[in-house]
Amino acid sequence: MIRLSSFFILMFLSAEYLYAHNEQSKDLNQQAYQILQTRCYRCHGGSAKQAGLDVLSRANLLEERGETGSRFAWVVPGSVETSTLLDTLEPGPDSYMPKQGSPESKAMTDEEKQLLVNWVKAGAEFPVVENRSFISEVQILKAMRNHLLSAKADDRTNIRFYTLTHLYNNPSVSELDLRLYRAAFAKTLNSLTKRREVFIPEPLPETGESVYPVNLEELYWNRDDIWAEILSHYPYALKYDYVKDEELQQLWKDVSQFSGADVPYLRADWFIVTATQPPLYHLLLDIPQTLSELEHQLQLDITQNFLHGDLARSGYAKSGVSQQNRLLERHSTPATPYFWISYDFLPRRARGDLTRFPLGPVFPENPFNNQAFDHDGGEIIWSLPNGMQGYMLVDGKGNRINEGPVDVVFDRSAVLGTPSIINGISCIYCHRDGMISEFRDEIRHADAVGGKPREHVLKIYPTHEKMQSLTKGDREIFMRALEKVTGPYLLVGPDENKNIKDFPEPIGKVAEMYFRDLTPQQMALELGIQETEILQAKIEANRELLRYGLGTMIQDPPGTLKRDKWETREGTSLMQDIASELRMGVPYVSRQPIYE
């Protein structure tokens, strides 16, 4: 009896030990994942752009890299010595990751680094996440139809929908990435409207927070047939009038009829990346063709403000976007709390030396034309009614341009894979925290001009402290709006008390993720096919699909497809052609775009 009792006690203690050990392991896995998310993900996540590393993808961390004979993996479960990630995080002063000077470097502790060492020793497992149930096209159309039926009849023709369902259905897309997609969508909408109140998109029920209705009238997008113009650029439009699935066919007809739209919904990730670039960026935000027209819109007269000294300037020799001189100029108007314009220059400009020519630009009424610079373009930033920012690029004559010439300004971040500054998205990414304050005037104390010109220089080039105070105030306006817009998606759960600055800039992060090469799994989900193997079997059995160059999708290991090829259009896109060949929908081809 005693021995039997001892046996049961031993069994009980063993079970207790195993339970405690498992709980401890779960806790370690969760803590490690949280550290990777908060300390590494901003630079090494989503698209894995930096060093090819996505720290929230265990497969990516464990993948072998390098040439034959010098293979390595970021993490080798159980092996601290061969896990390259840990080499970068050596506790102590020799650590070179997180990057010195970054917010993460200041925040990360040696205790956190040691926890990652313990995590690798224990097997480097990720915390188990709840599987997301697949959401079909039928399900999202049902949710759309129900929403339209619940809306007032007069509102229905203004209601459109945006979906993230193909991303929600993808198990390799993390919960944090989904939150960033939602935040990017909200930021995009609020960066493209003159609405005074912040607009927070609310998801439809039963869609896993992956489908969002938008009222075009509320965003002031119900003018000039804007939806038709958006559709003219859209490479994923399918109609389901003639599919075999009768339920899908009827739901499509209902949603299309109630909304009055040929295609009533779009993929939100495509919209985020495309609508923040010209021509849609200019169209949706109603940005005029010239600087003078924008001045009229915003009740501003730059020339008169210059003559009266009613502005604030700061000039310096080198900036983050140019190797030449740059001048920043700030105005305030009744229509907006702030308006900034830069004056930028080509190399070796005779009148591009701001210390000698600080009182430009040249114009007939300028009493200081002998001391006036001659510039080649500029960037304009102003506060939208809801506190977000609008952007415009102009040439030296004040005409709107789509991108800045790289010999004048360039994008160091290359958010779209190009050094060209693209109006809208490049500016949004660069000004993630609003106005940038890392500049110091070099003109006020240069003493290169005297007399009346010197007096005017002192009047319009304020002290560094005054300029920084103005910049700080403008940045605070933007940051308050940004937190209202993105906070509902980012400041949740374990991240509830974080600073909004601690997250990656969401639109730029979505752009990075969007343009990575497509795997067969991503292609299948973007076509609405749940199982990758089903798509691969269809490709193997269909000569027409093989002619599209999809044979690489069925090789071992499978290849990938460039996003540009997926979207390339000759009337229809490759995605539409494949969907048509698989009898999964009829490609919708709208008129040619007017705005280019």
Residue 37 domain flag: yes
Instruction: Verify cis geometry, omega within 30 degrees of 0, for the bond prior to 98.
Output: yes
Residue 13: per-residue pLDDT: 57
pLDDT tens digits for range 545-578: 999 989 999 998 888 999 999 998 788 999 999 9
- pLDDT, mean over the chain: 89
Residue 592 domain flag: no
> What is the number of other CB atoms lying within 10 angstroms of the CB of residue 420?
16
Residue 47: per-residue pLDDT: 43
Q: What is the DSSP string of 221-242?
A: --STTHHHHHHTT-TT-EE-TT
pLDDT tens digits for range 505-545: 999 999 988 998 999 999 999 999 999 999 999 999 999 99
Residue 97 domain flag: yes
477 and 540 housed in the same domain: no
pLDDT > 90: percent of the chain: 63
With a cut of 90, say whether residue 318 has pLDDT above it. Answer: no
How far is the first Cα of the chain from the last one, in angstroms, to the nearest whole number? 89
Give the domain-ending residue among 68, 91, 121.
121
Residues 6+ apart with CB under 8 A from 375: 327, 343, 344, 345, 352, 360, 361, 396
Residue 31: per-residue pLDDT: 84
> What is the number of other CB atoms lying within 10 angstroms of the CB of residue 347?
11
Q: What is the mean pLDDT of residues 206-226?
A: 94
Q: What is the mean pLDDT of residues 70-96?
A: 78
Residue 393: per-residue pLDDT: 97
Residues 308, 421: Cα–Cα separation, whole Å = 33
Specify the amino acid at residue 567.
E
- List 130's β-bridge partners, or say none: none
Which residue from 577, 570, 523 is spatially nearest to 547, judged by alpha carbons?
A: 577
> What is the number of other CB atoms lying within 10 angstroms of the CB of residue 400?
19
Residue 14 domain flag: yes
237 and 375 housed in the same domain: no
Please count the CA atoms within 13 angstroms of the CA of 489 that sit on its side-chain side. Answer: 25
Give the domain-ending residue among 468, 484, 500.
484
Q: Which helix (H) or strand (E) holds 163?
A: strand 159-163
Strands (E), 171-318: 211-215, 238-239, 265-267, 312-316
165 and 67 housed in the same domain: no
Could you tell me the pLDDT band of residue 147, with boundaries at 50, 70 and 90? very high
Residues 266, 261: Cα–Cα separation, whole Å = 12
534 and 455 housed in the same domain: no
Q: What is the mean pLDDT of residues 210-225?
A: 94
Residue 511 domain flag: no
Residue 152: per-residue pLDDT: 95
104 and 214 housed in the same domain: no
159-163 and 265-267 beta bridge pairing: parallel
Residue 435: per-residue pLDDT: 95
pLDDT tens digits for range 225-280: 899 999 999 999 999 999 999 999 999 999 999 999 999 999 999 999 999 999 99
pLDDT > 70: percent of the chain: 89
Higher pLDDT, 12 or 247: 247
150 and 57 housed in the same domain: no
Residue 127 domain flag: no
> What is the number of other CB atoms lying within 10 angstroms of the CB of residue 248?
19
Residues 317, 325: Cα–Cα separation, whole Å = 4
- Which of 79-83, 294-298, 482-486 shows the lowest mean pLDDT across its residues? 79-83
Residues 145, 253: Cα–Cα separation, whole Å = 10
Residue 107: per-residue pLDDT: 75
275 and 296 housed in the same domain: no
> What is the number of other CB atoms lying within 10 angstroms of the CB of residue 500?
19
Which residue from 499, 572, 555 is spatially nearest to 104, judged by alpha carbons?
A: 499
Q: What is the dihedral of CA 526, 490, 385, 467, to 10 degrees?
A: -120
267 and 242 housed in the same domain: yes
What is the sign, positive or negative, of the torsion defined by CA atoms of 189, 574, 419, 233? Answer: negative
293 and 209 housed in the same domain: no
Residue 16: per-residue pLDDT: 58
Strands (E), 299-412: 312-316, 326-333, 336-344, 377-383, 389-395, 400-401, 403-404
Could you tell me the pLDDT band of residue 12, with boundaries at 50, 70 and 90? low
Most confident of 22-36, 113-127, 421-435: 421-435
Q: What is the DSSP string of 66-135?
A: SSTTS-EES-BTTBSTTBHHHHHT-SSTT---SPTTSHHHHH--HHHHHHHHHHHHTT-PPPP-PPPPP-
With a cut of 60, say whether residue 293 has pLDDT above it. Answer: yes
Question: How many residues are there in the chain?
Answer: 596
Tokens for 271? 């919209």
Structural domain that includes position 15: 2-121
Residue 10: per-residue pLDDT: 57
164 and 274 housed in the same domain: yes
Q: Is 397 helix (H, G, I), strand (E, B) or coil?
A: coil
- Which of 362-366, 367-371, 405-409, 473-477 shows the lowest mean pLDDT across its residues? 405-409
The DSSP call for residue 392 is E
Residue 427 domain flag: yes
Residues 56, 41: Cα–Cα separation, whole Å = 7
Residues 596, 587: Cα–Cα separation, whole Å = 22
Number of domains observed in the structure of the chain? 3
- List 6's β-bridge partners, or say none: none
262 and 323 housed in the same domain: no
96 and 161 housed in the same domain: no
Residue 54 domain flag: yes
Between the alpha carbon of residue 335 and those of residues 290, 379, 431, the distances in Å are: 18, 19, 21
pLDDT tens digits for range 36-59: 877 887 778 654 456 667 787 777
The pTM of this model reads 0.86
pLDDT tens digits for range 158-186: 999 999 999 999 988 888 899 999 999 99
